[in-house]
Structure 1
């Protein structure tokens, strides 16, 4: 076993388009296999996570952006 911790942030939601978890950005296969992976494989996955998030961010940002003028204020 490796002492490299899981990147899980307890926001477990798989994006259907990319196949990545929107919390940790791993695939289902990477999540389920994590405990059996050696340190080298874990580091390889972790190294890819930032790029995955960056690639998905523009698409996700457009999808969730509020329309201008719909924000409400609290008095």
Structure 2
């Protein structure tokens, strides 16, 4: 599921808010589905970041938050990948 501009803008706003929050909130959006790009399709964290969230320091959480808008934006461009020298493409997303 490609990220749309509204989702990316929301992630940017929430990432900025997370820089001042105590405790730092989880970016979970209750989508909880890993995409082929290696990120959750809702919050754009890796499985390791999701699994370890509760044990991370606020500093680490803030650093993760800062990466999420860019990940969402680049997930759009990674949604179509070249699979061979013939130029055939495959759409990632839900099977």
TM range (shorter): 0.7 to 0.9
1:21 matches 2:21: no
After superposition, where does 1:20-59 map in structure 2 within 5 Å? 20-59=39-78
Q: TM-score, normalised by structure 1?
A: 0.73
Q: Tell which has more relative contact order, 1 or 2 (C-alpha 8 A, sep 6+).
A: 2
Q: CA RMSD in A?
A: 2.0
List alignment gaps of at least 5 residues for structure 2: 1-21, 81-90
Give runs of ≥4 in structure 1 deviating > 3 Å.
Answer: 58-61
Paired residue total: 62
Structure with bigger strand share is 2
List alignment gaps of at least 5 residues for structure 1: 65-75
SS at match of 2:64: helix
SS at match of 2:73: helix
Q: TM-score, normalised by structure 2?
A: 0.58
Equivalent residue, structure 1, for 2:31: 11
